[in-house]
Amino acid sequence: MPYEPPTHTVERSLRATTGAKIIAGVDEVGRGAWAGPVSVCAAVTGLRRPPEGLTDSKLLSVKRRTELAKELHQWVSSYALGHASPEEIDQMGMTAALRLAAVRALDALPVRPDAVILDGKHDYLGTPWKVRTVIKGDRSCVAVAAASVIAKVQRDKMMAELGIDHADFDFAANAGYPSPVHKAALEERGPTPYHRLSWAYLDALPQWRHLKKVRSWADGSVPEIEGQLGFDF
């Protein structure tokens, strides 16, 4: 299906309205997975013309995405990745884990950005960062699209490596997201050390439910379930 290529429109607007010179595009991958980290990439691209075919990583084939990521590694001005582990996700919830991963990525850049373009409508980064949220920014903004592709390819590679000792879960194919193979392996073998143990899928596994981690909520709030996929699919 044809799609409009991303542009530098938002970046130019930020430069004009805030005086920002170094702007990072930020995107995450792994929010809805049952296993593995949530990963965030921060990419700085400047205003150069992007590689042909750059867009949201989800719109690209595995082959094209992998090829494009290699090209982007050389094309971007700089990029860095940050991760929050399954244990950190269980301990602090997804929003805080996303912020942790994003800050790790931004702090790892060689130069601190003046502003950040964040994919989506929710600013999970917050102060002291100057943030512009853009819905579907991974399709419309060059820097965010670049971050999307690099993050997806890197996390997929990580999950394939983690899955070597857990072949029944087929992490190389599903990257820790729910799939029929993943579901069957969970029912038979229970969660691996890489699974998120505070998530709702364990409620549908009576024989493994005792492993579920429940955080205490002293402020009376309820656990975050945004992005969690149930066991029925």
For the annotated binding site, the residues are: 27-28, 119
Token pair 């997929």 is at which residue? 156
**Among the listed residues 3, 7, 25, 4, the one whose alpha carbon sits nearest the alpha carbon of residue 131:** 25
Residue 115: strand, helix, or coil: strand
Any idea what DSSP says for residue 58? Answer: G
Known binding positions for a divalent metal cation: 27-28, 119
Phi and psi based region of residue 21 (left: phi greater than 0; alpha: psi -120 to 50; beta: remaining): alpha
d(CA 119, CA 59): 15
CA dihedral 198, 194, 227, 39 (to 10 degrees): 130
CB 79 within 8 Å of CB 144: no
**Among the listed residues 63, 58, 51, the one whose alpha carbon sits nearest the alpha carbon of residue 5:** 51
